[in-house]
């Protein structure tokens, strides 16, 4: 290495250092430490004492853990497909080239910019069983709305509904993808006599499949980590722990209950679960995802 190269390396590292130090101190170290702490009895205040796999064994016998996991998977199973369909459909509609499209795009993206706490407070009022706008609207068409947030049966569907409000990010990614679908494919399909459905099914969806897969994986990660909305809107996952999510139970163990070791073990289980589901999604999608030029 010449002197100049050495100097460039030093300067390069110096300029990268805020990020590098941040990565090591705030990401890498906590991840490694949490793996060790998951094998410990650790209350944050006192020295961690090693207890082997005890935390993991206790978790397997912890009914609240299983309930939180069930709630989370149940939510993900509803929110993921719905979110994918709604965001894709919205993106396709927003790509039709109608007048004033940029305005519509902005409107659909706006909810994604609202902070979680603000939207949680807003939804608390929208979904209020007695004075809520949602039930008011349902009432107008003769449907008696449920107690969205007070009936254990309805808390998870309510959260799914709210998640659909925030599809803006996925829509933007789809829109970018839609611009990339080669126009000549549509023209070829038209020559072959394809209608809008034929074009959508045989051109748009296959060409968009990598983007759909990306959004699916982001969706898996996001819905397994569901935290802010239930944490703010339904404290303790009440009523009857119907909205007690994995990440909320993890948080409760980590701070209010001071069982950081137990919480670390939960975090690793969540990580492995996410990894597993992502792997399955990648495996299953293998044949259906078409990469351009591949």
Name the site residues for other proteins (rule: CB under 8 A): 11, 14-15, 18, 41, 43-46, 63-64, 128-132, 147, 149-152, 236, 238-241, 252, 255-258
User: Taking the complex as a whole, how short is the minimal distance between the CB of residue 221 and other proteins, in angstroms?
Assistant: 26
Nearer CB in complex with other proteins: 53/240: 240
User: Taking the complex as a whole, how short is the minimal distance between the CB of residue 156 and other proteins, in angstroms?
Assistant: 16
Q: Element (H or E) spanning 41, and its range?
A: strand 40-41
* Strands 40-41 and 49-50, bridge-based pairing: antiparallel
Is the distance from CB of 124 to CB of 231 less than 8 angstroms? Answer: no
Nearer CB in complex with other proteins: 88/244: 244
C-alpha to C-alpha distance for 258 and 252, rounded to whole angstroms: 8
Nearer CB in complex with other proteins: 72/95: 72
User: Taking the complex as a whole, how short is the minimal distance between the CB of residue 273 and other proteins, in angstroms?
Assistant: 23
User: Taking the complex as a whole, how short is the minimal distance between the CB of residue 61 and other proteins, in angstroms?
Assistant: 9
Nearer CB in complex with other proteins: 14/284: 14
Nearer CB in complex with other proteins: 42/88: 42
288 burial type by CB count under 10 A (0-12 exposed, 13-18 middle, 19+ buried): exposed
Whole-angstrom distance between the N-terminal and C-terminal Cα of the chain?
Answer: 38
Q: What are phi and psi of 154, to 5 degrees?
A: -105, -10
C-alpha to C-alpha distance for 212 and 154, rounded to whole angstroms: 29
C-alpha to C-alpha distance for 83 and 87, rounded to whole angstroms: 6
Nearer CB in complex with other proteins: 63/292: 63
User: Taking the complex as a whole, how short is the minimal distance between the CB of residue 270 and other proteins, in angstroms?
Assistant: 20
In our burial notation (b when 16+ CB lie closer than 10 A, e otherwise), range 171-186 reads: bbbbbebbeebeeeee
User: Taking the complex as a whole, how short is the minimal distance between the CB of residue 116 and other proteins, in angstroms?
Assistant: 17
């Amino acid at each position: 290495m010449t002197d100049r190269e050495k100097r460039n390396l030093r300067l390069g590292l110096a300029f990268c250092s805020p990020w590098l130090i941040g990565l090591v101190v705030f990401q890498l170290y906590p991840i490694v430490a949490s793996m060790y702490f998951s094998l410990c009895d650790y209350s944050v205040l006192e020295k961690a004492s090693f207890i082997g796999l005890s935390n993991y064994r206790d978790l397997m016998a912890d009914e609240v853990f299983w309930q939180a996991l069930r709630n989370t998977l149940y939510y993900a199973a509803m929110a993921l497909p719905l979110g994918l369909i709604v965001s894709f459909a919205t993106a396709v509609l927003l790509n039709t080239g109608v007048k004033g499209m940029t305005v519509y795009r902005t409107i659909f993206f706006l909810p994604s910019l609202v902070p979680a706490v603000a939207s949680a407070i807003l939804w608390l009022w929208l979904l209020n069983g007695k004075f809520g706008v949602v039930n008011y609207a349902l009432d107008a068409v003769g449907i008696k709305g449920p107690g969205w947030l007070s009936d254990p049966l309805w808390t998870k569907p309510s959260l799914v509904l709210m998640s659909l409000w925030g599809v803006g990010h996925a829509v933007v990614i789809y829109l970018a993808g839609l611009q990339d679908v080669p126009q000549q494919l549509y023209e070829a399909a038209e020559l072959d006599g394809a209608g809008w459905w034929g074009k959508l099914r045989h051109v748009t969806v296959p060409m968009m499949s990598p983007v759909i897969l990306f959004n699916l994986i982001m969706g898996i990660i996001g819905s397994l980590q569901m935290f802010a909305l239930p944490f703010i809107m339904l404290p303790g996952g009440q009523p009857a722990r119907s909205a007690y999510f994995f990440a909320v139970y993890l948080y409760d163990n980590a701070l209010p209950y001071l069982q950081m070791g137990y919480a670390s073990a939960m975090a690793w289980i969540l990580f492995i679960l996410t990894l597993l589901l992502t792997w399955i999604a990648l495996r299953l999608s293998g044949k259906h995802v078409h990469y351009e030029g591949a």
